Structure formats: structure tokens, C-alpha cells
A and B are shown apart, each in its own frame.
Chain A
Amino acid sequence: MDRLVRTILFAAVCGSAVVVAAQAQEAPRGDAANGKRLYLANYCYTCHGRVGQGGAYNGPAPALAKTAMPYEGLVGQTRNPSNDMPGYSAQVLPDQELADIYAYLQSLPGPSDPKGVALLKD
């Protein structure tokens, strides 16, 4: 249980660090529909959720829906992850496929104001 709680926070911190460190750069054109297929087929959803809501592996896996992370940050994290996230080589997940996945993530609705969700008021 301690590892559970501890790693949740660790990954949240790492996720933020990636956002900050990555250079803003325009993403190559991606196909969101194909990106969704690839996101599911490559099991990204197993840690980050089918709709990018986040989840956990050894530690927390940050939410990716409408991520503020630039495309270059996604590539960096995928090729050389900063925590226990598996690294995916270009051989397994080429750059164009990553671009498609990025397009899919950007197409997802991000977080909303929890005050508008009755069940989250208490």
C-alpha cells in the first residue's frame, strides 16, 4: 500500500516535470482515429486509461487527455521514460504513429470543473 500511494505522487511529479522540461514544438499532423486504434493496440490504455484519464503502473500514470505536454515531450518520454514507464523504441512505435496517438490524446476532453459534478462535491 505504501508503494501504491508513494508512486502515485512520484509519477504525478514526473509528469509535471516532463511538461515543464519539454520544448514547445508543433506536432506533426496526426490521425486521431488511427491514434486511438494505436493507443489501444499498444496498450497505452492499460496504464493511462482508455480516455486518457490516467491510472497506475508501479506508480501513478498521469492523465493524458488533452495533455499540456508538447509532442516532443511525448516522444522523449516514450523513447527514454523518466520513471518506470516502459520505453517504446521507434522500431515498435514509429514517430508517425506517436503523432497519431498525440492527435488522439489532444482530441479527448480534458478535466472539467469538479464543482459541476454533484458526486464530487462531498
Chain B
Amino acid sequence: MPKRRNEPDSHRRNFLKGAGLAGAAALSPIAAGAQVSAPKQDLKAPAPGSKQIAVETLPPIKDLINQTSSGGDFMVDVLKTLDIDYLAMNCASAFRGIHESFINYGKNTKPEILTCPHEEIAVHMAQGYAKIEGQPMAMMCHGTVGLQHASMALYNAWCDRVPVYVMIGNIIEGDKRAPGVEWVHSAIDPAAIVRDFVKWDDQPASLQHFAESAVRAYKVATTPPMGPVLLSLDAELQENPVADAETLRIPKLARVVPPVGDAGALADAAKMLVAAENPVIICDRLARTPAGMARLVELAETLQCAVVDNAGRMNFPSRHPLNHSFRRSVISQADVILAIEMNDPFGSLHAFSDRIARSTRSTTKKGAKIITLGLRDTYLKANYQDFGRYQEADLAIAGDGEASLALLSEAVKRLVDDSRKAAYEVRGKKLAAARQAMVEQSKSDATVGWDASPITTARMCAEVYAQIKDEDWSMVGTSIRLSWPHRLWNFDKSYRWNGVSGGAGVGYNLPASLGAALANKRHGRFTVSFGGDGDFMFAPGTLWTAAHHRIPMLYIIQNNRAYHQELMYLTAMAARRSRGIENAHIGTTLTDPNIDFATVARGFGVHGEGPIADPKDLAPALTRAVAAVKAGQTAVVDVVTDPR
């Protein structure tokens, strides 16, 4: 355990404290009625004399007032080598030592602090940021109550396979804690509550230990399969002078090259895909970098096969003729299915019936061969069941999907001769035609209720797209089951989309969108996001962070005035029991009073529009909001919509 370094005579001082307490007890008047039977010979220290009492009642002679070095400064030196741009946090006494080092010694750059009014906001901002920027953000919080606030967001990041660099403050040694709050805010093992959903954690016992763990944490977090990591920083280490500066060393970070699948196995996969009559690629959290989408396009075009994108990342252009994400019947026709970086392949290859007797059935063709490629299975934990039901496979390849695609594509190209090319072209044309028919059907569906109030979600999305399609836009959030953008918008660049929450923890969307918007800001992109009213209410303080840090974002609230998915579940339960459903709104709706989100937004210092229930009013409101965003603000547009 670390020792205080600013008190060379600390042992003596502590000894005197103990003696003083014993002496004070001996001199105190005895409470009336108290039974005192301890014999004098049991005392461990003699009663102090007058000089000793004087020493104890005066300030320690050698209690230093100032220090010229600090562990916190060294920690900042270490963290600067990791090139982390931002540190999202809610301030807390448990990390006051390193906080002061960040702002004064580190000059609030690399990382720059983002002030967040809730730890969940800080983690979710980091999650959204990393998925656009490709680099982790740091977040910092109190080791007990702060981490408890942060925990749900960490679960989302874990399920979403996103690196978040978490640091918490703690006071390890009991005799160094002030009475009261510092005791209830300290823990023996503070990371325990999140250990099931962080990839790695440590509580360094020395500054050198910190240096090595800090670099290791970054390396672990950013090695696929990625995930959040956590370092618990002892307050003594953060705050006190550095006693052994000459011995400290910051290790070099070597970024891990993601593992590529076995060449022989990829060659076998290529043979199966090339020989297949109807191969289908299905993917989820595949693209880590812009190269991911390009490589998937290359493989799909070589094979002229359908791609079903579960949209965990920006994997495949939405308007590509081979994108059949909304024509999943292709899965049931496939004879070979290549599943890449799928979190839940079973769920995508089976239909589930949510009835009294719950059941599943396979949606794949009998005899279809299944190839899995990815790193999902290489790092699992047992408690939280985020891995889904076991999916059988005919060929399972452990390797990073994006990194392995290049090798797989080359193997496929070597096997495609001219006769196959001709057959593939025919297949591709059929797929393109079927996809175009699906698009026309979607557009026709969108016209129903076009002028209705509350506004249909199709109209809302079309109005928004009309305003932003000529910008260099990036859509970084969506409300539950809002599929219109992916059905009709042109997602053609790697930053057009960044996936969803991961753990389906509500409260993700607003802060994660803001984190993504921060990443987009430096690239001059226009950030747009949709979110539900229920999600918004979990962390509305995010808007203050948006205003304070001047982060531009167009945020559309799909305001159906309910936790609508839950309302529908309750309706289904009541219908199942034939009890009538008129009470299903109890506990599931957000009415009486209706929330005025535009006023809330303005209260936090951002632009607010709405509530807008008439579709005719939507375009002018969006025009004003887009102008505000282009001027550098976040703008909230409250659109009163039909439920879905």
C-alpha cells in the first residue's frame, strides 16, 4: 500500500495520535452510570504528560503546506502518451488530485475535460465518440457512487464492443480517509460492480504500477474485440509528492495488429462461397474503420451476393443494389451464409414467437452451410447473457472480420473464372431488381397518412432528410424501431451511421449522439440524430454539456409521449389475459403533463423547436434548427409523432 510522501515523520505522528487518544480517554470524565472495570495494567500506552498533550493539540511541525511534485502530474504525463483527446467526467473529490493535474499541469489538453452532469452521460458520450472517431475517449468518476451512476452506460459500451477508458478515484487506506463521506465513498474493490462488463481493470499500488497499467488498459481496450477498461486511482497516489521520480518510466504503447483468420480456413470459406448458388453475407459489428465497408463491398460485388446488414456499424451502403437488409427472405433462400462479427447469429437465423409457449424456428434452408467469422467468441463472460443462443456452424473462423475480409476477398477472386462471373452477373441483376421493388414499396408505404397529425414517422424522416441530404451528414442515433432512414436515405460513407446502444439500455441515445457529434465537429460534418422522448428523459442534462462545449447537433425527438415498446408489451399481456387493455397506459405513458422539450432545451442553452404536431409546421422549424446547427449550436426539434 502507498504511504504518504509529504510527511517524513508520519510514523511518529501517527504514534502520537494513538497515544493521544489513549490519554484523552484516560482523562475524560466517566459517563454517569458507566461500568468501568478495565485495570490500569491493561493500558498499552502511558498517560501523556503536559508536553505530549501540547504536541497533539498544535499543528504538526513538519506537516508541509506546499509540494513541488505530485503523482497526479505523473499520471497526466502517462495519459498524454496515449493521445486521448477528451476526458468526459462529473467532478468528484475522489479524483481531485488528478483533476487538478489535468487542468493546470496538463493545461486541459490531450485530454480536454468535458463537463457532464451525470456519469451515464460521460460514458455514453465516450461510446458514441469512439464509434465515429475510431479512438477511445476517457471518462472519470467517483469510485463508488459515480461508478454506480456510470454502470448502465458501461454495460451498453460492453455489449456494443466499444472501448471506453474509465478512471475512478478511491482511497485505499482506511487511516487516510476523513471521517464520514470519504468512508462511504471508498471501497476495497470498487470495480467489482462493473467487472462483469469491463474487459479489464486494475487498482495500481504505485506510480510505476499505474504507468504500466495505464498503457496496458489502452492496449486491452483497443484490441478487438474491444471493450471498456477501468483503472482505480488511489487518492494518495494522485495527490501526494512523487518520492521516486528518478525510477519512474512510462512504457511504450504498441498497438495490437488485429488477428486475421487462418489462411487455410479462409480459403475453405472462399470455396464454399464461390460454389454456392445463393450465398448471403450477414453482418453486425463489422466495420471498425472506413476500410471495413470498402472490403465488404468488394467481397459482395465479387460474389454478386446479397448482404444483410444488422447495422451494428456502418457496414454496407444502404442504396447498394446488393443491400437486402429489408428483404430478409434472402436468408431463407441461401445455401451458404457467411456471418461476420455477429453478436447473435442465432437470433438472425431464427424466428422467435413471443407467445404463451415461446418458441423458435430456423429461417434457413435445410442443408444451408453456415460460416462464422469474427472475434466475438474469443472474449466472453458468464453472468450477463449478451452472447445469445448457441448457433451451430459448419466452419467457424476466429479472426477480426474487417482484417480478414481482405484475405477472404483475394481467395474468392482467385476462384472466380469467367463462367462464374457471368452467372454471378445474372444473380446480381435479379437481386438489384428485387431490391428496387422493395424500395418502391417502402416509398408507397411512406405515403399513408402523409398529412396526418400527429405526424407519421415516415413524414418526419422525409422532412429531415430533405433538409440535410446536401450536407456532409452523419446520423448517429435512432429511436426504437425507426427504420425509415435506413430504408430510404443514402448511407454511402463510413461515418453516415455508427450503430446502436448495444445493451438496449435506455438513456443511451442523447448523450451517445452528442459524443459522436463532438467527433464529427472536427471533421466539419453535420450531425443528426433521432431519439425517443423516453430516452431523452433519462439524461436531459446532456444538452447543457452540448451548449457548454459548443457541440453542434440536430436532435429530433420522436415524441410519442410514451415508453411505447412497453406500452405495447402491456397491451399484449392484457389481451392475452382477455382483461381489456384500457389500463395499459398506466406506468407506460408520458402525458399529464405533456413535456415541452423545446422549453427544456432552451433552459439548457440550446436551440429548441416545437412541439410540432402539424406536418406543415415541420419544414420551417427544421430550417431554423438546421441554421442553428450550422451556426455551431445543438438544436432540439420536438416532433409529436404517431407511435411508430
* Interface set of A (CB-CB < 8 Å, partner B): 1-6, 8-10, 13, 41-43, 45-47, 49-58, 61, 63, 65, 83-84, 86-89, 91-92, 109-114, 117, 119-120, 122
Contacts of A54 in B (CB 8 A): 445, 448
Question: In the complex, A65→B308 CA distance in Å?
Answer: 29
Residue from B447, B463, B642 having most chain A Cβ neighbours under 10 A: B447
Assess the A43–B584 pair: CB atoms within 8 A. yes
Closest chain A residue, CB of each to CB of B312: A1
Question: In the complex, A46→B457 CA distance in Å?
Answer: 13
Residue from B355, B448, B580, B643 having most chain A Cβ neighbours under 10 A: B448
Question: In the complex, A86→B584 CA distance in Å?
Answer: 13
A56-B644, A86-B571, A86-B576 known; A51 vs B483 contact (CB < 8 Å) = no
A6-B328, A92-B578 known; A55 vs B355 contact (CB < 8 Å) = no
Assess the B483–A5 pair: CB atoms within 8 A. yes
Contacts of A84 in B (CB 8 A): 353-355, 572
A87-B575, A122-B469 known; A2 vs B310 contact (CB < 8 Å) = yes
Closest chain A residue, CB of each to CB of B353: A84
* Cross-chain contact of B351 among A10, A41, A52, A89 (Cβ < 8 A): A10
B contact residues, range:
35 or more
Question: In the complex, A83→B446 CA distance in Å?
Answer: 23
Assess the A86–B575 pair: CB atoms within 8 A. yes
Residue from B443, B459, B576 having most chain A Cβ neighbours under 10 A: B443
Ranked 8 nearest A-B pairs via Cβ? A55-B644, A86-B575, A2-B310, A114-B443, A51-B449, A53-B448, A53-B449, A86-B572
Question: In the complex, A88→B578 CA distance in Å?
Answer: 7
Closest chain A residue, CB of each to CB of B351: A10
Closest chain A residue, CB of each to CB of B501: A1
Closest chain A residue, CB of each to CB of B328: A9
Assess the B454–A50 pair: CB atoms within 8 A. yes
* Cross-chain contact of A56 among B328, B355, B481, B580 (Cβ < 8 A): B481
Question: In the complex, A77→B97 CA distance in Å?
Answer: 65
Contacts of A55 in B (CB 8 A): 457, 481, 642-644
* Cross-chain contact of A42 among B327, B448, B568, B581 (Cβ < 8 A): B581
Closest chain A residue, CB of each to CB of B342: A2
Question: In the complex, A49→B458 CA distance in Å?
Answer: 11
Seed contacts A2-B344, A46-B643, A55-B457; 20 additional CB < 8 Å A-B pairs = A1-B499, A1-B500, A5-B325, A9-B327, A43-B571, A47-B643, A49-B642, A49-B644, A50-B454, A52-B448, A53-B458, A63-B445, A86-B571, A86-B572, A110-B448, A112-B444, A113-B444, A117-B443, A117-B450, A120-B462
Q: Is B638's beta carbon under 8 Å from chain A?
A: no
Closest chain A residue, CB of each to CB of B453: A50
* Cross-chain contact of B310 among A5, A109, A119 (Cβ < 8 A): A5
Closest chain A residue, CB of each to CB of B489: A122
In the assembled complex, the CB of A88 is this many whole angstroms from the nearest CB of chain B, namely 5
A50-B454, A120-B462 known; A8 vs B483 contact (CB < 8 Å) = yes
Q: For chain B residues 569-618, which have a beta carbon within 8 Å of chain A?
A: 571-572, 575-576, 578-582, 584
Q: Is B452's beta carbon under 8 Å from chain A?
A: yes
Contacts of B572 in A (CB 8 A): 57, 84, 86
Question: In the complex, A47→B570 CA distance in Å?
Answer: 13
Question: In the complex, A6→B579 CA distance in Å?
Answer: 31
Assess the B465–A122 pair: CB atoms within 8 A. yes
Contacts of A10 in B (CB 8 A): 328, 351
Question: In the complex, A50→B466 CA distance in Å?
Answer: 24
- 0 or 1 for each of B101-137: is its CB under 8 Å from A? (1 = yes): 0000000000000000000000000000000000000
Assess the A2–B347 pair: CB atoms within 8 A. yes
A51-B449, A86-B572 known; A119 vs B463 contact (CB < 8 Å) = yes
Show 20 residue pairs from A and B whose CB-CB distance is below 8 angstroms, ordered by the A residue. Answer: A2-B347, A3-B347, A5-B328, A9-B328, A41-B582, A46-B567, A49-B643, A51-B449, A51-B452, A51-B456, A53-B449, A53-B452, A53-B456, A55-B642, A61-B644, A86-B572, A114-B443, A117-B446, A117-B462, A122-B490
Closest chain B residue, CB of each to CB of A84: B354
Contacts of A46 in B (CB 8 A): 564, 567-568, 571, 643-644
Assess the B448–A111 pair: CB atoms within 8 A. yes
